[in-house]
Structure 1
Amino acid sequence: MASNIKGPGIYLAQFASDEAPFDSWQSITRWAGSLGFKGVQIPSWDARIFDLRRAAESNTYCDEVAGIARENGVEITELGTHLQGQLVAVHPAYDEAFDGFAPEAVRRNPQARQAWAVEQMLLSARASRHLGLKSNVSFPGALAWPYLYPWPQRPAGLIEAAFDELAKRWRPIFDAFDEADCNVCFELHPGEDLFDGTTFEMFLQRVDDHPRCCINYDPSHFLLQQLDYLEFIDIYHARIKSLHIKDAEFRPTGRQGVYSGYQPWIERAGRFRSLGDGQIDFGAIFSKMAQYGYDSWAVLEWECCLKHPETGAAEGAAFIRNHIIRVTEKAFDDFAGGQKDPAQLRRMLGLEPVAP
């Protein structure tokens, strides 16, 4: 049954900073509300605007946080746990690169860092329950990513072993979120072992189709892979429980394509853009999500190599609002219909003789 999508929302991860108005929960939610956003997605690792541990331990704190948001005209849409989820599984090749996602006390210690990440996810489950949230947006981490391209030939069973281990690490986290009545929505993203539909299915099978293993749909990552992002909705809509609305463009040349030649974002064939400046057909996306009855939030994730973030946010609020479909409660041709008459139906099918 069709439902109305909520929005516009905005992910605050790309905006929180040490400068006003982005340096406190009060001021950043006031800023978001002033632009016309109705919801905010919280980067749960950013202590400048949110205390995850306190939220997991205190209903009172959660009530205060939600109350401040409401006073500024916005609701909390989800907690984002991308950095913590990433650290649930890290291949040793990326140890040093990802250490910056963790507190100093667990850096250069992969086992302690992973334990911290798992604890963070469990705290996020409890905090989501206290806040009354139904979805959490995250990354799954990666053990197999260095072996993405099948050269040199991979030893038999290597990818299977990586996904077995990834599933083993996430299963108890899913169980905790199930107790909290909240979904874990993975953003399928290069750099993660779950980056497209096939890899999501490989993982889902290993967690026995766990009901809390879900998807945060972000078409920008699919466009840059040259994946059919509209058919993806047809296939996986039952698992899509959150949306990131982010634009992108893919401009292959004689010099570079999907892999983009190690270039910086502004010079890559595939790059993220502000809403409306890229190639993604959001009209079709919103239509499909309305068709399948998606009734949660549409959240702007701003990432653009050209436009200023505050301009992108201001334009993004109106863009999402104008794309949300108010679904109809009746068929367009109801005016031509009639009352149900069982006898008439049987006559029209030739099952009863027409009276002379």
Structure 2
Amino acid sequence: MSATSSPSQASVPRLSSLSHGGGCGCKIAPGLLSEILKNSGVGGLVPPELLVGIETADDAAVYQLNEEQALVATTDFFMPIVDDPYDFGRIAATNAISDVYAMGGRPIFALALVGMPINVLPPETIGRILAGGQAVCAAAGIPIAGGHTIDSVEPIYGLVALGLVHPKRLKRNADARPGDRLILGKALGVGVLSAALKKEQLDSEGYARMLASTTQLNTPGMALAALEGVHALTDVTGFGLGGHGLELARGAGLALRIDWSRVPLLPGVRALAGQGFVTGASGRNWASYGSQIALPEGFAAEDCALLSDPQTSGGLLVSCAPEAVDEVLALFRREGFDYAAEIGEVLDERPAEGAPRLRVV
């Protein structure tokens, strides 16, 4: 094959075989990321209109345009988590748009980010990836208005997603209050399922569950923004429930308690984790923040893996007043989030530096 010729469809490798890590499992571990970014904001320009920047590791940047509108801007991209190109495009686009919903925003348009090994993947395969992303954007009611492409060693796809939110309805990850209840919108276990898929040990039912979860748009975020009882909001992605729960706790200067028996898990994932189907990102996550989590005696290794399991296009994590719990859960149910559940609470505790901020019971 010449350097400029395209590969035949028959010779196309599995997409997941072309990436060293798939989905949000290929994110840089939180401990290393913190080290990389520790001086990135020093001396930078921070205009008063910038309502949300990098200070609390929130899901998106937010810039106030006027008294009634603020721009939500985010980007997310990764390598294949599945082998079907159309499904890969759908998952990546759903995941990217989620960060707008996690701020309480309404998406308005997106830009595509595309890096593909053009001498390995035929144009038809790359076209299917983009078509999957386009389908999800259409479901979200937004156009893909442009983007950028490069020739890369590993296949990469994602979006820059832009949205609008009323400044007074903006939901940050740092505004949880003592006594708030925690609600998780989706079940955990996507990383475990992806590990089984990569080893060709995931059955069709498991794949269907994985796809249903990762392509479900977190649309409740827009309605949650209108509820006064909702104080903080984020989505659970590559750092797992443990990592994103800690971000919420640190942002508020408080601590969280999670009742593990109430945390929703996708069917079969606990057994798969017990058989060793765990992503490398799960271990990296735990190494980064495990010392900040207090576990009960006898907490099983597979549960620890699920606590740090990287979620691609994961669920919204809501911190709300106790009297708002029923309304929040009803909102999730109306929009088809059957796994949504109350999983814990925000404690009126301000841990000392280095002390655990998240307690699992």
Please classify the TM superposition score into its range, dividing by the shorter chain length: under 0.3
Query: Larger % of strand: which?
Result: 2
Query: Larger % of helix: which?
Result: 1
Higher relative contact order (CA 8 A, sep 6+): 2
Give TM-score, length-normalised by structure 1.
Answer: 0.25
Give TM-score, length-normalised by structure 2.
Answer: 0.25
